[in-house]
Amino acid sequence: MFTDSNGIKIHKPDYVCRYIHSDDGDLVKYKLLRSNLDEERWVSIKDTEK
């Protein structure tokens, strides 16, 4: 079960992933839900995955 940044539960997430360097230099895996592609809103998987 995934929750997007709007708090919407997603049973079958449809997203693309990329790795982004955080401020401390670590690589963090981020996902972008395809429904949010227009907004380019990337959210950290480890922050949103339940």
pLDDT (tens digit per residue) in 1-50? 566 667 766 655 566 777 777 788 888 777 766 655 555 565 655 644 44
**Distance between CA atoms of 37 and 27, rounded to whole angstroms?**
22
> Can you list the pairs that 1-5 forms with residues at least 24 positions away whose Cβ atoms lie under 8 Å?
1/50, 2/48, 2/49, 2/50, 3/48, 3/50, 4/33, 4/35, 4/36, 4/43, 4/48, 5/36, 5/41, 5/43, 5/48
29 closest CA partner among 38, 19, 39: 19
Number of domains in the chain: 1
Domain residue limits at 28: 2-48
pLDDT of residue 17: 72
Note the pTM of the prediction, 2 decimals.
0.31
pLDDT of residue 45: 58
